[in-house]
Chains A and B, each alone.
Chain A
């Protein structure tokens, strides 16, 4: 139980993939112009991270060391395909709005990072939970960014008008520069709330 609590705190707050590890920010920037998109993307990512960590962990004693990256990629792609087909079937509008970013979950380094760093050495149930909370941490930050971008950019939240007719939308917020500025601000706030104890650990540098 204590272990699970610890994983939860790590994934959502202390070691949040986005503002602490700077992982997976491509999609974090791209889908946050609307809250609904971010929510779907976040849930999708939780599904993929959780299950692929679980699968990698189940197979960890049977995977030859030197081809493990390839196997992890294949496991992740398989879940992404399931997610993509599911979205196309039940939420076709959303699937169109997210476009290639669903497929790009494969190269989202959060998933690969967790498989490498955690699922490789831990039992399946913990790995599953770890993947899930990392996905949750990602979703929380995405929703936070999307909240401000949608509110200021369209004057709406989840598509419902909030700020009234007289409000002039800040078009900048829904365009790419707004995303960069918002993420920078989130990182800044996070660094002030949780001061960095050790220097940059030199994490993985991929897409």
Chain B
């Protein structure tokens, strides 16, 4: 067990160890879906929810099933199955009981299964030896940090529509440069708290 206050982990995973800006996880959907502020916000919410729940589930499965049985090497398969199954379940529940939510959130759910931020958080949690509360707060913080980054990127890309960009940089190129500048700005937070 590492002895870090769970709240420190929570804050750090939003600002200093942001999933996108310092660990590069979840880049593909980050670039593809960041055109509109509303859709990015919905996707961010879905990611945060799934991240929090799957980090809890994966923690329980890893520590109470895989480790006692000595099957740690199976964690990749198990984690990805848990994530896929959980996303499927959430999609069915939302479709059945919260119809209005389904139209704003539901379409993003299948996308989330392959979002590497989700699997990444579970793997980091194992590597860094977090305990239960630390893991859940780490998951939630990472999700909020991801949302923060994608919503701010969407806001900036909106203004870009009127800007003159060199032909070759249009699309992914300029998005990456903006992300780089955002990562620079987030480096300013690095003095607050630090986890690894």
Residues of A within 8 A of B (CB): 22-23, 25-27, 29-30, 70, 73-74, 77-78, 80-81, 84-85, 99-100, 103-104, 106-109, 112, 172, 175-181, 183-184, 187-189, 191-192, 200, 205-207
B117 touches A207 (CB 8 A): yes
- Pick the contact of A184 from B27, B75, B120, B177 — CB < 8 Å? B177
Residues of chain B from 29 to 81 with CB closer than 8 A to chain A in the complex: 29, 31-33, 73-77, 80
Count of A-B contacts with CB under 8 A? 131
Check A187 against B173 for contact (C-beta < 8 Å): yes
Q: Contacts of B171 on A, CB cut-off 8 Å?
A: 200
- Cross-chain contact B76 with A22 (CB below 8 angstroms): no
Q: Are A30 and B23 in contact (CB under 8 A)?
A: yes
Asked whether B21 lies within 8 Å of A188 as measured between CB atoms, the reply is no
**B166 contacts A by Cβ under 8 Å:** yes
What are 14 A-B interface contacts by the 8 Å CB criterion?
A29-B27, A77-B77, A99-B127, A104-B123, A175-B187, A180-B180, A180-B183, A184-B172, A187-B176, A188-B166, A206-B111, A207-B25, A207-B27, A207-B117
Which 10 residue pairs of A and B lie closest in terms of their CB atoms, listed nearest first?
A180-B180, A207-B116, A206-B114, A100-B123, A205-B32, A191-B168, A184-B176, A107-B116, A29-B24, A177-B183
The reply to whether B177 and A26 form a contact with Cβ atoms under 8 Å apart is: no
Nearest CB of A to B89, in Å: 15
Q: Is the CB of B114 within 8 A of A184?
A: no
Known: A30-B23, A179-B24, A205-B33. 5 other contacts (CB 8 A): A180-B179, A183-B176, A184-B173, A184-B177, A205-B29
Q: Which residues of B contact A25 (CB under 8 A)?
A: 24, 27-28
Bound Cα distance A166, B127 (Å): 38
Q: Residue B28 contacts which of A77, A85, A205 (CB distance < 8 angstroms)?
A: A205
Residue of A23, A100, A108, A184 near B124 (CB, 8 A) is A100
User: Quick check: B111 and A205 within 8 Å, CB to CB?
Assistant: yes
Chain B residue nearest to A77 (CB atoms) is B77
Given contacts A25-B27, A187-B172, A188-B166, contact A181 B177 (CB under 8 A): yes
State the main secondary structure of chain B at its contact with A. helix
- CA separation between A206 and B173, bound complex, in Å? 18
Contacts of A23 in B (CB 8 A): 28
Shortest Cβ distance from B106 into chain A, in angstroms?
16
Indicate whether B115 reaches chain A with its CB closer than 8 angstroms.
Answer: yes
Residues in chain B near residue A206, CB distance under 8 A: 28-29, 111, 114-115
Which chain B residues numbered 102 to 133 have a C-beta less than 8 Å away from chain A?
111, 114-117, 119-120, 123-124, 127
> Chain A residues near B25 (CB, 8 Å)?
26, 104, 207
Query: How far apart sit A187 and B27, CA to CA, in the bound complex (Å)?
Result: 15
B101 within 8 A of A: no
Take A100-B127, A106-B76 as given contacts and tell me if A176 and B32 are in contact as well, using a CB distance cutoff of 8 Å: no
Please report the C-alpha to C-alpha distance between residue A176 and residue B21 in the assembled complex, in whole angstroms: 7
Are B24 and A106 neighbours in the complex by a CB distance under 8 Å?
no
Within the complex, what minimum Cβ distance (angstroms) separates A107 from chain B? 4
- Contact (A112, B180) CB under 8 Å given A26-B26, A100-B127: no
B169 within 8 A of A: yes
